[in-house]
Amino acid sequence: MGLDLRTSKTDLFDSGPELNSMNPFDNTAADMPDIANDTLVEVAGKLDWVGMNEIEMPVRIEDDAGNEIQSTALVTAYVNLKDPDVKGIHMSRLYLHLDQAFGERPLSPATLRQLLRSFLDSHEGLSDRALIRIDFDYVTRRPALVSDNVGWRRYPVSMIGILQDNEFSLEMGIEVLYSSICPCSAALARQLIQEQFAQDFSGVDQVSVEKVMAWLGSEEGVMATPHAQRSAAEIRVRLTPTFTLFPIIELIDEIEGALKTPVQSTVKREDEKAFARLNGANLMFCEDAGRRIQTALNRDERILDFWARCTHFECLHPHNAVSVVTKGIEGGYVAGSGAPVRLELSRT
């Protein structure tokens, strides 16, 4: 049987012997002051959210093969306080519910909904809205581009569940790293190579294929290269809350497939050659990356709404190039410069 948390604060600790009034050092719960219940509110007012963040918890989640992955998470647990005259909530109950739920079963939409329901049941009369946010690293094996090697990749993941008026909403965030080569820089590099070719073969009416091949393989043939940068796509999606599992790998594959140049883990020479080919075939500004992601997410019927920010960490100058796209539905995510409205409860 699980612990019944629908009790008073002091009941949770009433497991020792009865109070011995002759012993002043007997600190049973009945003798402890309860400031939250016994103190009057100085200034009345409702609270939109109250609770804890940065809660350290181990979490388990199933991958697409049915295996459980364990990670360390930082958790936010909130309820609202609808009674303006109540001093505070029962924060220890939120923690105990988290500890019990995460210990018993892996993360899933059903787990989060049940957990939020327990938050509200344990705060009956005080709260009618509950929120949980979980931030953790999803670590998985990804194959090399060409060789038979496989390597580890880490994807930061955020999950938010909100329960209000028996309506459950579910959101997920993920970050995907990729490579981007500037199309403008590539065009300038091609121009410089053309100019060098014209200079090296000036006055020659015909050039053999062998000489051209040799020139292209020399340092003069690559005397200019376009600049590339590691880039990041931050994705926030609102999901239809009907899944038995979170579509983490599916979303990763969707984004990496749209961008076509995800960063690699294990790389042999044949993989690096294939990566160079992919980059050359997928020159992109941050605007191009944003549109690719927008197109991919618009096709996914599981996604009710989305927000995506593509950041290219430029090597040409010290500032970054950024694009933001949304699905553009009424009452949905807004394309501000910061975090999306629905996920403003950042842990940082």
Tell me: pLDDT of 91 over 50.
yes
* 4-18, 20-34, 254-268, 317-331: segment of lowest average pLDDT: 4-18
> What CA–CA distance (Å, rounded) separates 231 from 206?
43
Asked whether the CA dihedral 12, 15, 18, 22 is positive or negative, the reply is: negative
- Cα–chain center distance at 276: 28
pLDDT at 140: 93
**At residue 336, does pLDDT exceed 80?**
no
Strand duo 68-81 + 129-143: pairing: antiparallel
Q: Which residues contact 222 (CB under 8 A, 6 or more apart)?
A: 193
Question: Which residues neighbour 153 within 8 Å (Cβ) at sequence distance 6 or greater?
Answer: 139, 140, 141, 142, 265
Burial of 286 (0-12, 13-18, 19+ CB in 10 A): buried
Encoded tokens for 28: 């049973």
Question: Could you report the per-residue pLDDT of 155-214, keeping only the tens digit for each?
Answer: 999 999 999 988 999 999 999 999 999 999 999 999 999 999 999 899 888 999 999 999
Of 275, 278, 288, 308, the closest CA to residue 176 belongs to 308
In angstroms, the CA 272 to CA 316 distance is 23
- Which domains are seen in the chain, by residue range? 32-38+45-182+227-343 (3.10.270.10), 184-221 (no CATH)
pLDDT digits (tens, 9 = 90+) for 94-137: 999 999 999 999 999 999 999 999 999 999 999 999 999 999 99
Tokens standing for 253?
């594959």
Specify the residue for token string 């091949």.
Answer: 213
Of 57-66, 231-240, 319-328, the poorest mean pLDDT is in: 57-66
pLDDT of residue 36: 57
Q: How many Å apart are CA 109 and CA 181, to the nearest integer?
A: 38
Question: Hey, is 282 helix, strand or coil?
Answer: coil
Say what angle helices 91-104 and 109-121 make with each other, to 10 degrees. 150
Instruction: Retrieve residue 289's tokens.
Output: 């990356």
**Least confident range of 42-51, 117-126, 156-165, 294-303:** 42-51
- Percent of the chain residues topping a pLDDT of 70: 84
**CB under 8 Å to 101, separation ≥6 — which residues?**
111, 114, 115, 118
Q: Mapping DSSP to helix (H, G, I), strand (E, B) and coil, where does residue 216 land?
A: helix
Rounded to an integer, the average pLDDT of 28-39 is: 59
Distance of CA 254 to the CA centre of its chain: 15
> E-assigned strands of 82-199?
129-143, 150-164, 167-181
pLDDT at 22: 38
Least confident of 24-28, 33-37, 70-74: 24-28
- Residues 144 and 125: beta-carbon distance below 8 Å: no
Backbone angles phi, psi at 254, to 5 degrees: -65, -45
Q: What token pair was written down for 281?
A: 């075939």
Residue 311 pLDDT: 97
pTM over 0.85: no
Highest-confidence range of 27-31, 32-36, 167-171, by mean pLDDT?
A: 167-171
Pairing verdict, β 303-312 and 129-143: unpaired
DSSP string, 4-58: ---S-TGGGGTTSPPP-TT-TT---GGGS--HHHHSPPSS---EEEEEEEEEEEE
